[in-house]
Structure 1
Amino acid sequence: MKRYLIRSGIAPTELKQPEEMILNNLIGGNIGNLIYAYSIYRNLMTNDVEIVPDNYRINENDAEMINKYYDAYIIPLADAFRETFVENLKKYTKLFEKLTIPVIVIGVGVKAPINKRIEDGFSFDEEVKSFVKAVLKRSNMIGVRGQITADYLSYLGFVEGKDHTVIGCPSMYAFGEDLKIKDLQLTKSSTIALNSSKLSPEHVLEFITDVSNNYPDYYFIPQWMKEFQMTYIGDQKLSENTSFYPNTIKDKYYEENRVRFPLNAKSWIDFMKNVDLAVGARLHGNITATIAGTPSLLIVKDARMKELAEYHNLTYVSEENLLGGKKIKDFIKTLDFHAPEKVQSQNFNHFINFIEKNGLDHIYNYSYYQYPPLDQKLNNIELPEMLTPINALTPTEISDRLIKYTTLEKNIKSKLKKENKNLSKKVKQQEEKIKIYSKDKEYLANQLQKKSVKLGLKLSNTLTILKKRLKF
């Protein structure tokens, strides 16, 4: 039995309470992380492979343990080549340099404005170089999300086709090469799943809000950690710089009980199967719909989204196309919602080729690929449904949520306080040892100095006596 360590906060088969997921950040800040982790688990978990989440821990001191207990380290990444992830890149580089097992990066991208000139470079070029070199010492090739990232690594001196190759986003391969998207028949009674990013331009946010105003059977699926907490206990508040985004639970999305937050990948995918259309500015909000077989309209606002949309032939519009008060009905008849189907098989086969080049086994080498081990395990687990907002609960249910959350929060704080106290104690003990050592060192130095003086005097006297004897 082989054991793979994977960069993820939670396995698809783990059952965790929402308060535990929030307080321990088991989603890595964004629920979208669960989708491409789910795909990798599903593809690589054979009858002879166990996959273990690393809980997003990065510590070079773990190298010996990782080398001893695991056969490979799988690293799925999103837009990790960005300013805010530089410190983690450095930590990973130090860790990878101490590993002796394969390190496979399955998907990584650069975050940049949509018209950024790659040849102008980035402030983190050197850190990316070091990271990639460390990975290539432990694997044959790195998988990048799109051509923009491929061009960036080529600019840094790495060879496309040898050191790196475009594989897109692993989440698109959750169910293999077959992708069948149902026809879109949009009516006023259609069910629409909305997703949005607060970082989007104002006219994009207004476009998404307009969809909710015109199609009453909508659901908003947030992805940020703060929104997770806001949905669960209601105490979070996003900065109120726009009237076209739900900043608090007082927003109509929450008041109308139209918010649903995913707690696991499978329930999210199953939810999207019953939706008629997905619209929004979140990659995985729309990719989840696509792999569920639901038509999806992605609004592209930066380079990381553009390269993935182009590689997977996702149905999308650029944010500038929404200027001038455009409505969704202006695009419906002109877009091909079956477009992703046309490149799925080719992209999937290239992904499997990449996996094999890096020496990894996968379910498609076996007859059980249509009902793989992950599916078998999930079918024996009662997974929680999508989380409803606190607004929709009875007073008793609200009380239960708050009690669970605050109890766990206190326990975690108490544990951290105890750990900090023990750490402070160890630090103090170490400082005392250093002081004692310093005193001993000073004492020894003084003794040595005294002995040196005595030895010098003795030597001087001996020489004087010798000189007198020689004269005699």
Structure 2
Amino acid sequence: MKKIIVRSGMSPLDTFSADEIIKRNTIGNNVGNLIYAYSIFRNITTENVELVSDYYKKNPNDADMINETYDAYILPLANGIRKSFIPSLKKYTALIEKLTIPVYVIGLGMSFSYEPNIREKRPYDDDVKKFVKAVLEKSSLLGLRGQITSDYLSHLGFKEGRDHQVIGCPSMYTFGNNIKIRDLKLSDSSSISVNMTPGADQNVLEFLNGLSYKFNNLNFIPQDMDEFLLTYAGAPLLGKSINSKLTNYPNSLDSLVYKQGKVKYFLNAPTWIEHMKNVDLSIGTRLHGNVAPTLAGTPSITIPIDARMRELSEYHNFPRVSSEDINGDTRLEELIEKVDFRSVEKSHQKNYDNFISFLSKNGIDHLYDKNADGVKQPLEIKLESIQLKQPIGPITTCSAGEMRERLEKGYEIMLSKTEKIDASYKKIIKAKDNSISKLKNNIEKKNEDIKKLKTKTKSMENSRSWKLTKPLRSFSSNK
């Protein structure tokens, strides 16, 4: 049997508890990462192929073990081209350079502003070049999430169609070309799912947050780790969250959706998608917050806030509105009138065929083209024997026993994170002390050099003075 290692924080077959996920950060700080990993696992797992998660480990020293154990390495990298990810990208580059097995990048994207200047020089350009070159030594071409990323790599010297190809997000092909969006009949009792990003414009956040006051049957689905901690333990366990100062954002237990228990934090992709089948409308600024309902056939409205979301929503033709379309007087009914909920269906077959061609060019065996209504893939059969974890709600909605357990485990998580932070600080302080010590040594050495130079200069001046005075004395004596 072939074994393929996949970059992911966890396998769909893993059933980690909420506290384990937090401790190990198996969601990579955003639970949306589980959606596209699920697509890869579901459609490349066969009776003869087993997929294994790398749990985000990226040690170049593991190259020999990986070469001996696995037949290929798949990297679904999402928005891997961003400043904060460059250290990880460098490690993957060093690892890939040592591998002798095929390496496939499926879904690489960037994190730029909404209207980026592609030709702008970025400090990590060379790092991205090295990574792409390393991958191209192990596969035919890279699959990119959108045209902006493609234009960026072309600017760096790589050729579109030869070195890279736009494929969108693999999550959109989880069930092959089977996307069918249901009709929407909005009413006061409609089930609404809202997703939000702290970085969205204030007018957008105000509008989305305001929906919780207008629709009783509404749920907020957070995705970030900060929000996970808030939902699980009641507060960010170390300091304030990144969105603690935002207004019009559900960032505390005092927020209406938390007070009313209308928050669901999902721990795996299948239960997330299944939940969305019973939702009438999804709206928000999260890409995978709207991919999940799309896979479930639920109408959605996406509000792109940056180039990352823009290129994906444009490629997959998501029903979308601009941030500029929203103000203090905007009503949900007005936005519904502006979109075509079936626009995503119209582009999907073409995008799907393009994705299949990308897999073929790389020689990747898959089941994407064998998806049909009612057909269960090998991974789904395995999942039937596993009890997947259900989404968690706010700690304030728990029984006294569960609340006590969450607080105790939350405290353990806080201690473990504190120890890691202390270790990191000690490492930083030690490095700074070493730098200061080296600087002191250099200063002392330079001071010694200056003293020697002064001594030498004084000696030369004395010698020169002696040579000048000696003839005068001789002249005087002769006289």
**What residue identity is the alignment partner of 1:146?**
G
**What residue identity is the alignment partner of 1:88?**
S
**What residue identity is the alignment partner of 1:398?**
M
Take 2:203 and 2:403, find their aligned partners in 1: how far apart are those partners? Answer: 35
Take 1:376 and 1:74, find their aligned partners in 2: how far apart are those partners? Answer: 22
- Cα offset for 1:226? 1.4
**What residue identity is the alignment partner of 1:169?**
C
1:320 alignment partner, one of 306, 318, 324: 324
What does residue range 203-214 of structure 1 map to in structure 2 within 5 Å? 203-214=203-214
Equivalent position SS for 2:294: helix
**What residue identity is the alignment partner of 1:340?**
V
CA separation of 1:408/1:328 partners in 2, compared to 1, >3 Å: closer, same or farther? Answer: closer
What does residue range 111-126 of structure 1 map to in structure 2 within 5 Å? 111-126=111-126
**What residue identity is the alignment partner of 1:52?**
V
Please say if 1:259 is aligned against 2:241. Answer: no
Contact 2:175 2:368 in 1 (8 A): no
Number of the residue aligned with 2:408: 403
- Cα offset for 1:413? 8.4
Equivalent position SS for 1:316: coil
- Cα offset for 1:400? 2.1
Number of the residue aligned with 2:382: 377
Number of the residue aligned with 2:13: 13
Number of the residue aligned with 2:252: 248
Number of the residue aligned with 1:331: 335
Equivalent position SS for 2:108: coil
- Cα offset for 1:323? 3.5
What does residue range 77-116 of structure 1 map to in structure 2 within 5 Å? 77-116=77-116
Contact 1:195 1:282 in 2 (8 A): yes
CA separation of 1:89/1:411 partners in 2, compared to 1, >3 Å: closer, same or farther? Answer: closer
Equivalent position SS for 2:219: strand
Number of the residue aligned with 1:54: 54
Range moving further from structure 2, 382-391 or 142-151 = 382-391
Number of the residue aligned with 2:182: 182
Contact 2:144 2:165 in 1 (8 A): yes
Take 2:371 and 2:314, find their aligned partners in 1: how far apart are those partners? Answer: 33
Equivalent position SS for 1:118: coil
- Cα offset for 1:147? 0.6
Take 2:317 and 2:347, find their aligned partners in 1: how far apart are those partners? Answer: 7
Please say if 1:137 is aligned against 2:137. Answer: yes
Range moving further from structure 2, 177-186 or 350-359 = 350-359
**What residue identity is the alignment partner of 1:377?**
K
Take 1:186 and 1:124, find their aligned partners in 2: how far apart are those partners? Answer: 47
CA separation of 1:48/1:189 partners in 2, compared to 1, >3 Å: closer, same or farther? Answer: same
Contact 2:21 2:27 in 1 (8 A): yes
- Cα offset for 1:7? 0.5
CA separation of 1:157/1:362 partners in 2, compared to 1, >3 Å: closer, same or farther? Answer: same
Contact 1:203 1:325 in 2 (8 A): no
Number of the residue aligned with 2:357: 353
Contact 2:17 2:389 in 1 (8 A): no
- Cα offset for 1:122? 2.4
Contact 1:106 1:143 in 2 (8 A): yes
Take 2:123 and 2:405, find their aligned partners in 1: how far apart are those partners? Answer: 47
Number of the residue aligned with 2:220: 220
Take 1:366 and 1:200, find their aligned partners in 2: how far apart are those partners? Answer: 39
RMSD across aligned C-alpha pairs, in angstroms?
Answer: 2.1
**What residue identity is the alignment partner of 1:251?**
S
Take 2:65 and 2:418, find their aligned partners in 1: how far apart are those partners? Answer: 27
2:314 alignment partner, one of 299, 310, 314: 310
Number of the residue aligned with 1:449: none
Contact 2:209 2:250 in 1 (8 A): no
Equivalent position SS for 2:107: coil
Equivalent position SS for 1:57: coil
CA separation of 1:243/1:408 partners in 2, compared to 1, >3 Å: closer, same or farther? Answer: closer
Range moving further from structure 2, 313-322 or 27-36 = 313-322
Please say if 1:292 is aligned against 2:307. Answer: no
Number of the residue aligned with 1:192: 192
Range moving further from structure 2, 163-172 or 371-380 = 371-380
Number of the residue aligned with 2:346: 342
State the Cα deviation string for residues 36-61 of structure 1 (Å, max 9, x = none). Answer: 00001111111111111111111111
Number of the residue aligned with 2:27: 27
- Cα offset for 1:160? 0.5
Take 1:18 and 1:384, find their aligned partners in 2: how far apart are those partners? Answer: 9
- Cα offset for 1:364? 4.5
Gaps (5+ residues) in structure 1?
Answer: 424-472
1:272 alignment partner, one of 276, 295, 320: 276
Contact 1:86 1:124 in 2 (8 A): yes
Contact 1:140 1:358 in 2 (8 A): yes
Take 2:251 and 2:235, find their aligned partners in 1: how far apart are those partners? Answer: 11
Number of the residue aligned with 1:391: 396
Contact 1:23 1:409 in 2 (8 A): no
Number of the residue aligned with 2:445: none
State the Cα deviation string for residues 261-307 of structure 1 (Å, max 9, x = none). Answer: 00110000011111000010000001111111100000011111111
Contact 1:20 1:408 in 2 (8 A): no
State the Cα deviation string for residues 199-234 of structure 1 (Å, max 9, x = none). Answer: 111111011012222112100000001111111111
Q: How many residues align?
A: 419
Number of the residue aligned with 1:165: 165
Contact 2:60 2:98 in 1 (8 A): yes
Take 1:406 and 1:49, find their aligned partners in 2: how far apart are those partners? Answer: 41
Number of the residue aligned with 1:428: none
What does residue range 431-450 of structure 1 map to in structure 2 within 5 Å? none
- Cα offset for 1:235? 2.6
- Cα offset for 1:366? 6.0
**What residue identity is the alignment partner of 1:219?**
N
Equivalent position SS for 1:100: coil
- Cα offset for 1:242? 2.3
CA separation of 1:367/1:241 partners in 2, compared to 1, >3 Å: closer, same or farther? Answer: closer
**What residue identity is the alignment partner of 2:222?**
P
**What residue identity is the alignment partner of 2:342?**
H
State the Cα deviation string for residues 367-403 of structure 1 (Å, max 9, x = none). Answer: 9992110111112222122111101012222112233
State the Cα deviation string for residues 129-156 of structure 1 (Å, max 9, x = none). Answer: 1110011001101000001111111111
Range moving further from structure 2, 98-107 or 362-371 = 362-371
**What residue identity is the alignment partner of 2:314?**
E
Please say if 1:149 is aligned against 2:149. Answer: yes
Contact 1:210 1:327 in 2 (8 A): no
